[in-house]
Chains A and B, each alone.
Chain A
């Protein structure tokens, strides 16, 4: 995706209203944006501005090079530099779970993590869950069980849920899942449906 890296993402104010439309298709605006953000090569030290450092990580299976300052938080880099805005900021304090992503297979609060500490890491965000244009079984289960309302905490809920399902140390019963998911706040209170979606996706994923 990010064969060219960016420091400032671009989306055109005069552009079409694709992202206002409600459609069943997922537009690839992030990708488009990246391709228009052409910048200098990352590894040429001369091109790294003062106070910035070059890092490289894999984001949703695609290698990505970028320059960061030491005070850049991973969440903000995803949202601003890479325009991967599916990961949300809910508190910036690691208290709500909305920013949950996977780093090397582990769920983390990306608001509590410095970007510069992720050189060489493999990162997966909500944008990486869908494969070949097909919803992940967990996304499909969230859709069918109406496991959200406003949708703002939903990326974090799903990223955490995926880790919970795949964690052999977390029991499969409802109480264990509720406990394990309790770092992810849903203010709309869709907890009942989130739980049923997780348990339904678990079955689906076992069969797959």
Chain B
């Protein structure tokens, strides 16, 4: 059984609940006596509230109360420390004062008996502002003179400046990426319910434990007085890692009105007050010797961050992967930030790497063209034998196998290197490729597993399944360990009162959670044996070390076999539990990274100015895939999101007043069914046992890294036009139409 269940393509165990509409997401909770809240959001990006007139709104049907900076309860800041697991991205509390830092900031909250009445009254709240000029984008931020270099994140080795000056071939190019918004299909939502001093939050979070700690800090409570529940999440992509003002607004209002309160952030404000991937400007300077060996790499990036947090500001670490993906003795990476009047940026799928690899991997393609070298050959030539930024060996690196397998599958050998040389009818075909790269992280984790008298095994952990399949792979691990079928295993996640588990982010939930589950499972088996040898138990004369657990049964040396249900029943016990803690991975011996390669075909029809991605082959080296079905799906999905990044996605801000102008799904374009290319994902599936016992490194980010550059490189191959500013919209290609 063991070899079959780990990694097997098993359907999700939470599938039927999701497919029948029975899975309750946060906003699906309707509590007795629950009130509804609706926000009022600032219409200016910078300024002050002069006056809030609620008189008309208060007369509106069903209104219970209206909150704003003059009357919202006084709360505390959370320390916002990652190591204390109480992090937020926007430290300022909702309604803390009358200052406006960004358009779409909460300025008031209406609580009413029904959703309709709350919404109707919210439109009747009148807010008068004194508006100041807003810093609307990165360039305006720099003109404002507000560049802050982030010294701690810099990396330098050798002498890149000198090596560049004396090198045979050089590239010096600047790339830009726009603000992208996570836009999970489920909007941020909270149902907040107080029972005395206990707060229950049905919340949309990628981290129930972190959220619990944040709310405890904000309301001055002990963590035991807060329960955060997210059994199902309509995904997050980083946007739901840390609590946002909406959740605190809902909980504060619920306490003030003495009723539970539901608050859902409207889609248009998902572009303002719940985070985004910031705008970046990145300068890449590469140099090679005559043979194409990199002799100098410099990656200098600037990203935008919000004026609302001038301490603990979010920094997009665009150079994170550049430090070590290729071999180069002379290398430097810098990060700067500049302040703008936008909401707080945050991690969005592959933070730093998705933006940074667009720049690096585009520059690598430009250099390959300069050298007249095949871009795959150029990358192979510059393969890094170890992590040169840390002087550590790779725990497991099969990127050359990824290149080989994906190239073979794609048919890369048939590529004609000449720009615009490959045709199919009216369409010009472009082929591009590049590398993907993401770090692998494993943190400490607690978990509990119990054999139960009804014949089932139960596992609980304070992590959550955000759509990645965590429920299912936890069950697979326990099925392997206990020899029981999946339908005898119940997994509960998404409750902060369970043993402390990780946030689902950074691709580390799998590597962090599964070892703790397995350790707790083994402890539960030991507990079962201890119960079996008790007087009156199933093996009263045996020693625990003489008992063997297999396929749900304990056996002794004489061949006596008893099912665990009977072992428990013999002593009238409900369960045999094991609880365990596992530590994070040791990072002093190995560098843990995931790798991969994308090969992309685009089709450009110059007659009608149509560009589409028609084919993607990606080979992913992310350790063992715990479930082939969900793993493949997740990589395919990240490729789809990467197509959005490359071709469609950008939140556009009016340069005059800093307001987002396309804050809806009709104008902020994301990939739809019709944009779906043929996607072929190869999971290399080399277990990384230096990392953890399962050899799994995690899959959430790796697929989106590099994909935008692979598409841009294919566009260059088709059109001869190098697009250095995402997204690659048609207007940027129009001037090449004859």
Binding site for B on A (CB under 8 A): 8-13, 17, 19-27, 29, 33, 51, 69, 71-73, 76, 79-80, 83-93, 95-96, 98, 125-127, 129-130, 135, 139, 142-144, 146, 148-155, 158, 177-179, 181-195
Contact = CB atoms under 8 A, between A and B. Distances in A.
Given A150-B184, A185-B185, A84 B21 contact: yes
A85 B28 CA distance: 5
Interface string B1-39: 000000000011111111111111101111111100000
Contacts of B115: 76, 80
Nearest to A50: B61
A71 B492 contact: no
A153 B185 contact: yes
18 contacts: A8-B33, A11-B30, A22-B490, A26-B22, A27-B22, A69-B116, A89-B27, A90-B185, A95-B664, A96-B185, A125-B21, A146-B629, A152-B184, A187-B641, A189-B637, A190-B637, A191-B673, A194-B673
A27 B25 CA distance: 14
A22 to B, nearest CB: 4
B641 A192 contact: no
A186 B116 contact: no
B20 A127 contact: yes
B264 A89 contact: yes
B702 interface: no
Given A150-B235, A152-B235, A92 B266 contact: yes
B682 to A, nearest CB: 14
Contact of A192 (B185, B231, B676): B676
A144 B11 contact: yes
B684 interface: no
Interface stretch (B214-222, B356-364, B466-474, B538-546): B466-474
A189 B639 contact: yes
A20 B415 CA distance: 52
A22 B471 contact: yes
Given A11-B32, A93-B267, A93-B665, A135 B183 contact: no
Contacts of B471: 22
**Chain B interface category by residue count:** 35 or more
Contacts of A139: 16, 19-20
Contacts of A125: 21
A96 B467 contact: no
A111 to B, nearest CB: 10
A71 B11 contact: no
Interface in B317-342: none
Contacts of B18: 148, 151, 154
B455 to A, nearest CB: 14
A13 B200 contact: yes
A90 to B, nearest CB: 5
A122 B644 CA distance: 38
Given A20-B495, A22-B490, A192-B636, A79 B28 contact: yes
A86 B17 contact: no
Contacts of A189: 636-641, 671
Interface centre among A27, A84, A92, A146 (most CB of B within 10 A): A146
A149 B673 contact: no
Contacts of B469: 149
A182 B20 contact: no
Contact of B633 (A93, A95, A149, A182): A149
Nearest to B23: A151
B229 interface: yes
Given A96-B267, A193-B636, 20 more contacts: A8-B34, A20-B492, A21-B231, A72-B116, A76-B115, A79-B28, A80-B115, A83-B30, A85-B28, A85-B30, A88-B186, A89-B27, A95-B267, A149-B630, A151-B234, A152-B235, A178-B674, A185-B185, A187-B641, A191-B671
B326 to A, nearest CB: 29
A95 to B, nearest CB: 4
Given A22-B13, A150-B233, A189-B639, A86 B30 contact: no
Query: Interface majority SS on A: helix, strand, loop or mixed?
Result: loop
Contacts of B30: 8-11, 33, 79-80, 83, 85
B672 interface: yes
A112 to B, nearest CB: 13
A72 B670 CA distance: 29
B432 to A, nearest CB: 20
B17 A26 contact: yes
B709 interface: no
B17 A22 contact: yes
A179 B452 CA distance: 49
A158 B666 contact: no
Contacts of A84: 21
B431 interface: no
B534 interface: no
A85 B61 contact: no
Contacts of B15: 142-143, 148
Given A20-B492, A79-B28, A181 B19 contact: no
B498 to A, nearest CB: 10
Nearest to B628: A146
A80 B114 contact: yes
A146 B115 CA distance: 34
A88 B61 CA distance: 26
Given A21-B490, A80-B114, A86 B467 contact: no
Contacts of A179: 673-674
B231 A19 contact: yes
B670 A185 contact: yes
Contact of B185 (A11, A29, A187): A187
A187 B16 contact: no
A91 B665 CA distance: 8
A43 to B, nearest CB: 22
Contacts of B389: none
A69 B27 CA distance: 22
Contacts of B33: 8
A29 B629 CA distance: 30
Contacts of A93: 267, 664-666
Interface in B189-229: 193, 195, 200, 229
Given A178-B674, A178-B676, A185-B185, A96 B20 contact: no
Given A27-B22, A93-B666, A185-B670, A193 B633 contact: yes
Contacts of B570: none
B664 A190 contact: no
Given A93-B664, A185-B672, A189-B640, A20 B234 contact: no
